[in-house]
Chain A
Amino acid sequence: MAAADEASRPFAGLSDVSISEDIPVEGDISVPMGSSRRDDEFSTLDEPVKETILRDLRAVGNKFIHVLYPKRSSALLRDWDLWGPLLLCVTLALLLQGGSADSDDQGGPQFAEVFVIIWFGSIIITLNSKLLGGTISFFQSLCVLGYCIMPLTVAMAVCRIVLVGGSGPVSFGVRLVVVTASFGWSTFASTAFLADSQPANRKALVVYPVFLFYFVIGWMVLTFSPAQ
């Protein structure tokens, strides 16, 4: 205690100093509890793998629903991903196999040809849209074009089921109706997302290649003939 007295003596004069009243010295020193919780949300390193996969699957499924009911929303554009287009492309290419292509070389498209047409077609349409001065980014456009193949993939599955029943004129008529409807749906859905990014005097220039792209894919779906 004597040492404390000695220590406080050089500072004894300080206790007489008065602090003027008009400088507010007050505050609250407390650590907000929320910040550490937010850090936990952003760090997804500790979560189970199932949750990681499910989150991506939920995002993909959400975009499928946006394609089913196309309205001018920006969800497809904001959080683009290419998982959905890859899944649809592989499914479509697999469904187009098993045709009459095994015996002769003048058959349907091979697996690689379907891949090349879908991906290179999408890239060329995206380049075309950007060269014409579109405001959409490269991968956003690829995402939209890939997701809008979904109606045609569904039509392909329906066509294969119809072909199991027979391949006469009736089944051809049914397939024609289904493919035409899904082709129209695909084109309408993708232009609902893409047309807003172009000035009004160039909209038709951007929509026509999309129309041609889905027309060619629809043609591939329609002319699929099963091996007899």
Chain B
Amino acid sequence: MASANDPFQFQEFEEAASLLEADRDATTITIDDEDTKAEKQRIAAGFIPDGDDEDRLASDDKTELLSGQKKSAPFWTFEYYQQFFDIETHHVRERIIGSMVPWPRKNFIHVYLRRNPDLYGPFWICTTLVFAIAISGNISTFLGKLGKPNYKYTPEFGKVTIAATAIFSYAWLVPLALWGFLLWRNNKAMNLVTYSFMEIICVYGYSLAIYIPAVVLWILPYEWLRWCSIMVALCLSGSVLVMTFWPAVRDDHPKMIIATMSAIVVLNTLLAVGCKVYFFSKPETLIPVEHAPAAEPFIV
């Protein structure tokens, strides 16, 4: 550190900022944490992931400073969790719409999250989806069995627990596994884009938002409508996920890229199809079961 008086005098750490203020051309050594180092390497190497880099860089400088201030509370205090709820109504609305409309050059994490991942969206979207599946499944079973003589309506309240387990484990365990996997690959192959755990949870939570209208559509007992809506929802949410994680794996071995992307898509498909099969029974399969006992007395 440069000093006008005595170059060998030990400088206290607090003076560094004021010294830099005084002499901006002085050489400085800064030790960053991993995220900012990856960011600077990326900028230095000339990789520009998407077209919005101008104002993204400008806001990234400010958010880097802010994120340094934000993460100071220890994790057992209330303020630590309050930093994940630092959003407004229009932010949530934009993020939900952004998760439903995949844009080729827009990366969900960079464009919408902007280093401010929240827990409000993932949690309440998952909860809404749980109740939407349980209620819609109940209504569709009721409509399917309406008119059958020996059917008695039951609210099937136990299915809420099963739906909650399935959806919350998808929305929280799969991001954990993906984050761990990306961390491992980051150590082996120098990926220059790293996502934090909260950002991955945020992407997965918001990507489930498209399923809420799809699940409500499944109330109508038409199989072609159900399969159409499931295909549309899968394509939209799957493409948002793939486009988000593409920059994180594209510098890796091609086999790893294919394995990661297909795992993301397959898990998404499994969740959607599994929910449909378990909660929404097909009306045609009920007919042979209903009429077989009645048909037997006629065989005499």
Do A107 and B89 contact each other (CB < 8 Å), given the known contacts A128-B120, A208-B124, A212-B128?
Answer: no
Q: Does the CB pair B89–A100 fall under 8 Å? A: no
Q: Which of A108, A113, A201, A219 contacts B88 (CB 8 A)?
A: A201
- Residue B127 at the chain A interface, CB threshold 8 Å: yes
Q: Does the CB pair A202–B88 fall under 8 Å? A: yes
Do A205 and B92 contact each other (CB < 8 Å), given the known contacts A132-B85, A219-B135?
Answer: yes
**How far does the alpha carbon of A132 sit from the alpha carbon of B128 in the complex, in Å?**
19
Q: Which of A104, A131, A203 contacts B89 (CB 8 A)?
A: A203
**How far does the alpha carbon of A105 sit from the alpha carbon of B159 in the complex, in Å?**
11
Q: A82-124 CB contact bits vs B (8 Å, 1 = yes)?
A: 0000000000000000011100111111000100000000000
Q: B208-244 CB contact bits vs A (8 Å, 1 = yes)?
A: 0000000000000000000000000000000000000
Q: For the side of the interface on B, what is the size category?
A: 20 to 34
**How far does the alpha carbon of A204 sit from the alpha carbon of B96 in the complex, in Å?**
14
- Residue A43 at the chain B interface, CB threshold 8 Å: no
Q: A198-228 CB contact bits vs B (8 Å, 1 = yes)?
A: 0001111100110010011001100111001
- Residue B28 at the chain A interface, CB threshold 8 Å: no
Identity of the chain A residue whose Cβ is nearest the Cβ of B161 in the assembled complex: A113
**How far does the alpha carbon of A104 sit from the alpha carbon of B160 in the complex, in Å?**
16
Q: For the side of the interface on A, what is the size category?
A: 20 to 34
Q: Does the CB pair B138–A100 fall under 8 Å? A: no
**How far does the alpha carbon of A219 sit from the alpha carbon of B134 in the complex, in Å?**
11
Q: Does the CB pair B81–A225 fall under 8 Å? A: no
A198 to chain B, nearest CB (A): 10
On B, residues with C-beta under 8 Å from A are 78, 81-82, 84-85, 87-90, 92, 120, 124, 127-128, 131, 135, 138, 152-159
Known: A212-B127, A225-B154. 15 other contacts (CB 8 A): A105-B158, A107-B155, A128-B85, A130-B78, A131-B82, A131-B85, A201-B89, A201-B90, A202-B88, A204-B89, A212-B124, A212-B131, A219-B135, A224-B155, A228-B152
